[in-house]
Amino acid sequence: MASHPKGTAHHWLCCGRFPPPRDGQSIATQELVELLAPDFTFTCLNSAARPPEGRIIPPGQLRMKRVGEMLRYLLTLRSFTARYPLPILYAILSGNWLGHLRDCAAFAWAIPQERPIVVWTHNSLSGLHDSAIWHRTLGWLARRARFFVFAAPRLAKPLCKLLPEDRVTFIPNPIARAMLCSSEEIHQKLRATDLSAGLRLLFVGHMIPEKGGWRVLEAAAQLQRDEIPFHLTYVGEWPDADAPRYFFTQVDRLGLRSRVTHRGGIHEPGVIRQLLLRNHVLVFPTTYAMEAQPLVVLEALNAGCAVVSTPHAAIPDVVQSGVNGFLTPPHPDEIARAVARYWHEPGLWHKHASTARQHFETYFSPAVIRYRWAELLRHVEQELSHAGPREQPTPSSSC
């Protein structure tokens, strides 16, 4: 799918995934396109293979629907790049083998050799880097692009020996503006919160084991054994029809029925925002292989939540253990021990929650992200400054 925005001197082609489905990658891409308007406009080519809302297609799983949509996307990309000389924001570089084949085909067949490309990576590339087969093609892709944008330095490690430093930059993921909390809301939260009634814990993520929700349930059982008062709220889609039955069987087995609420998948940003404002701690012990910089962790900092998570992917670049939360091994006992510190150490939660919000405003606010992206895109546009007059895209609605 392509949408054609109004003509402008700062006009780019953005290849990426856009909602639906609403997941971290599609939300971040859509948000960036909107954040940079009106100074930049984009023609958007949507590469998303669309599973049912909220459902995750396992990385690398071959589905005929996905292959068909990839082929249509490649044909549209080739047609457009042949007609219009736009610089390209390639926001879908994949870390799994099927997506990598798509990327290779796009760079070799659909995108002209001379076209400036900025690659924005949302996934871990470690799996490709560790494979002798894919390492070569990953290096070829790296040489074809002008810039690589990573959300955090540790995500760039697979390419550190393939790219010179002046072709790599780091810009955090943008959260949806509908998720932003005001300073007054955070002040009110910190002023009104009294932990003596118990900790309010929140997990937000797909209910697949790798995202950590099942480990949080075991950690909650440990908190109950330690007589720490709490309530745990889950928000997340079920991976299959059997998962809810198994989950609530576990809740009953652990004696947590009165302490655990599962609200299903929630796609309204305002509802998630209010949940983050009402809760004290986001507990998110992910080990998901394709994790990069989870939006929910940034959203939690924005809402004045302390975060208990794992030292996985780019999370250590966001959560400073002992400063605005804790990083723990993905084991229920360790997770419970970290959460329990907010009960046993008076004042610690207020300190971490306040620092979390300050950290967000300094490094992850929309103004910071917008400035850094605009600076980068204008720099790349200089590569087209000596080109002669070319045909411009037909004006139409924005992406």
Same domain flag for 53 and 202: no
Residue 394 belongs to some domain of the structure? no
Residue 390 belongs to some domain of the structure? no
Torsion of CA 72, 73, 75, 77, to 10 degrees: 160
Residue 111 confidence class, pLDDT cut points 50, 70, 90: very high
Same domain flag for 356 and 369: no
Same domain flag for 151 and 198: no
Same domain flag for 145 and 268: no
Same domain flag for 205 and 349: yes
How confident is the model at residue 247, as a pLDDT? 97
User: What is the per-residue pLDDT across 210-262, written as a single tens digit (0 to 9) for each?
Assistant: 999 999 999 999 999 999 999 999 999 999 999 999 999 999 999 999 999 99
Residue 389 belongs to some domain of the structure? no
d(CA 383, CA 114): 10
| Domain carrying residue 189 | 178-362
Same domain flag for 192 and 58: no
CATH number, domain at 270?
3.40.50.2000
Residue 398 belongs to some domain of the structure? no
Lowest model confidence (mean pLDDT) among 149-163, 204-218, 309-323, 352-366: 149-163
Lowest model confidence (mean pLDDT) among 159-168, 283-292, 326-335: 159-168
Residue 372 belongs to some domain of the structure? yes
Torsion of CA 241, 242, 247, 253, to 10 degrees: 150
Same domain flag for 302 and 334: yes
d(CA 283, CA 326): 10
Mean pLDDT computed over 63-70: 69
Residue 397 belongs to some domain of the structure? no
Residue 254 belongs to some domain of the structure? yes
- Phi, psi of 120, deg, nearest 5: -115, 110
How confident is the model at residue 328, as a pLDDT? 98
Residue 204 confidence class, pLDDT cut points 50, 70, 90: very high
How confident is the model at residue 398, as a pLDDT? 35
How confident is the model at residue 346, as a pLDDT? 86
Residue 124 confidence class, pLDDT cut points 50, 70, 90: confident
Residue 212 belongs to some domain of the structure? yes
Q: Exposed (0-12), middle (13-18) or buried (19+): which is 114, by Cβ within 10 Å?
A: exposed
Mean pLDDT computed over 326-332: 98
Residue 49 confidence class, pLDDT cut points 50, 70, 90: low
Same domain flag for 168 and 37: yes
Same domain flag for 264 and 134: no
- The tally of domains found in the chain comes to 2
Same domain flag for 158 and 243: no
Same domain flag for 171 and 215: no
How confident is the model at residue 128, as a pLDDT? 81
Same domain flag for 159 and 214: no
Q: Compare 73 and 300 and report the one with higher pLDDT.
A: 300
